[in-house]
Amino acid sequence: MTSSQLIGGDQLTIKNLHFGYDSLSIFTDLNVTVEPGEFLSIIGPSGCGKTTCLNLLSGFLKPDSGSVLLRGESLEPEDPHFGYVFQQATLFPWLSTLENVEFGLKMQGMNEKVRREKAMVYLEKVGLKGFEDYLPLKLSGGMQQRVNLARALVMEPRLLLMDEPFGALDAITRETMNDELLRLWNELGQTVVFITHDIDEAVYLSDRILVLDRPPNGIFKDLKIDLKRPRIGKDTRTSDKFWDYKKELVDDIAQVAKSAVVS
Ligand SMILES: Nc1ncnc2c1ncn2[C@@H]1O[C@H](COP(=O)(O)OP(=O)(O)OP(=O)(O)O)[C@@H](O)[C@H]1O
Ligand SMILES: [Mg+2]
């Protein structure tokens, strides 16, 4: 695989899914299809089930009933079908940047020369060439999240699951990371499911946004984001359409939050 080849994405389907933690019902009859190569964001108030949804998609959690299908087939636990980027950078502090990125390949038994070359390709893609020998402590928060991203991408997953990956970053670094993520996604073409609390970020990145309601109500809104690509920083962010989407979603979130207070 050379750096310019498209990896592509898989279709993902959630069908009639029910899930709860003990007596706490989170989803009753959740149905979602994410198309191959689609960039889907999930937003909603804290505790509405976003991380739970991602964990059901990864197979970390099993539905009580219903199914999660990848390319129309049941998830196989042994199939490493996804890359997962967590909210907090979860790097091994004693390993260098390069060793962190190649760790998953090492676990797969890939020989050192091949995995180092591959890790270098992805470090370069996230703009960290020259930092391969640094320990995580010597990297900024944004750089650590780039390593995290490279670590997920190096496995060349056709599905990328991201749980508020840029939540801890300042606004300017976050916008830079948004552009870098779009550049990589444009190049690699994976299916992405992205969780965020940030409405701007969701609108800027996504083909589609799901607004989750309070449990166990499921999807409050499924909104297609019809902004042309490539999305170009200030031009996109200051366009009338961007503001219309943003306003609509702010109203939706307020409505979801209000319904929780009333009920
Ligand atoms: N392991 C668990 N055991 C029991 N309840 C859990 C567990 N994990 C989450 N929950 C509960 O499930 C609900 C949904 O949690 P989840 O983490 O999916 O929310 P979230 O939308 O990701 O929230 P946030 O935006 O704060 O990250 C919450 O009420 C939470 O307390
Ligand atoms: Mg969460």
| pLDDT tens-digit readout, 195-252 | 999 999 999 999 999 999 999 999 999 999 999 999 988 899 999 999 999 999 999 9
pLDDT, tens only, 207-220: 999 999 999 999 99
pTM score, whole prediction: 0.94
Distance between Cα 49 and ligand 1 center (Å): 6
pLDDT at 263: 46
* Ligand 1 atom closest to the CA of 22, numbered from 1: 4
> pLDDT per residue over 39-74, tens digit each?
999 999 999 999 999 999 988 899 999 999 999 988
Element (H, E) at 100: helix 97-107
pLDDT tens-digit map of 72-115: 988 876 677 789 998 776 899 999 999 999 999 999 999 999 99
DSSP classification of residue 166? T
Q: How far is the CA of 57 from the centre of ligand 1 (A)?
A: 15
pLDDT of 241 = 97
Distance 222 CA to ligand 1 centre (A): 21
Give the distance (Å) from ligand 1 centre to CA of residue 196.
Answer: 14
User: Ligand 1: which residue has its CA nearest to atom 4?
Assistant: 21
- Measured between alpha carbons, how far is 215 from 45 in angstroms, rounded to an integer? 10
Instruction: Delimit the domains of the chain by residue range.
Output: 1-82+158-263, 90-156
Nearest CA to ligand 1 atom 24: 46
Structure-token match 């964990």, residue found = 55
CA 40, 143, 3, 119 torsion-angle sign: negative
pLDDT mean across residues, the chain: 92
Ligand found nearest the CA of 163: 2
Region 5-33: mean pLDDT is 94
Which residue is it, tokens 């989750």?
A: 212
The number of C-alpha atoms within 13 Å of 40 and in the hemisphere containing its C-beta is 28
Among the atoms of ligand 1, which is closest to the Cα of residue 54?
A: 18
Please check whether the domain covering 1-82+158-263 is classified as CATH 1.10.10.10.
Answer: no
Ligand 1 surroundings by CB, under 6 angstroms = 21, 24, 26, 44, 46-52
* Confidence check: pLDDT of 6 > 80: yes
